[in-house]
Amino acid sequence: MSELVIRRLSAADAADYRAIRLAALSQDAPAFGSTYEAEAPRALAEFAARLESAAVFAAFADRVVVGMAGFRRCTGAREAHKAFLWGTFVEPAWRRRGTARALLAALLAAATAEVEQLTLSVVQDNAAAIALYRECGFQVYGTEPRALKSAHGYSDEVLMVRFLSARA
């Protein structure tokens, strides 16, 4: 079995980030707010810019990216204490092997140093993801009906939060 390496991506990793992002959008389209068709034509520089404005962690096996998860800190004066977790995805061959948990552990460690709470939204029928987030300490605080729309109809999203600290 290959050794799994988790690390935070930088702008220099834009090609790896693009590869896993497009894999996520093509393989698990219903789980994401964007689409493969919208993102595939984007320049590599746009992916690099995203890596400069958010914390994105990737899982690598034999130097090939097999998973990702990211968070972006809110920028408003009264919202800077929180961040939004997004983009969690693991290649099917690497699921049920602890890859997503390892990604989230790295992400949570970094987020704890920066913010007091993380929020996320997950498609309501993605039971595996909801269970994983619960195991990682997230709690449901609501549901957004018809949060996403596709040619196949609407998807509701479960809204979750994890409090990281009570810093003043």
Task: Identify the pLDDT of residue 154.
Answer: 94
Answer yes or no: is 146 within a domain. yes
Residue at 88 is within a domain: yes
Q: Is residue 22 part of a domain?
A: yes
Please indicate, yes or no, if residue 97 is contained in any of the structural domains. yes
Predicted confidence at residue 97, as pLDDT, reads: 93
pTM to 2 decimals? 0.92
Instruction: Specify the number of domains making up the chain.
Output: 1
Domain that holds residue 137: 4-163
Q: Are 78 and 22 in contact (CB under 8 A)?
A: no
Tokens 């619960």 sit at which residue?
134
- Give the Cβ contact number of residue 94 at 10 Å: 16
pLDDT at 168 (0 to 100): 45
Q: Could you tell me the two tokens for 88?
A: 């969690």
Q: Quote the CA–CA distance of 68 and 98 in Å, as a whole number.
A: 13
Dihedral angle of Cα 51, 54, 55, 61, to the nearest 10 degrees: -40
Q: What's the confidence (pLDDT) of residue 29? A: 87
pLDDT of residue 166: 60
CA distance 135 to 54: 24
pLDDT on residue 167? 54
At residue 152, the pLDDT reads 85
pLDDT values of the chain reduced to their tens digit, one per residue, 168 residues: 578 999 999 999 999 999 999 999 999 888 899 999 999 999 999 999 999 999 999 999 999 999 999 999 999 999 999 999 999 999 999 999 999 999 999 999 999 999 999 999 999 999 999 999 999 999 999 999 999 998 889 999 999 999 997 654
Within a domain: residue 168?
Answer: no
In a domain, 101, yes or no: yes
The 10 Å Cβ neighbour count of residue 133 is 24
Q: Domain containing 70 — which CATH number?
A: 3.40.630.30
User: Distance between alpha carbon 63 and the CA centroid of its chain, in Å?
Assistant: 20
What whole-number distance in Å separates Cα of residue 4 and Cα of residue 36?
26
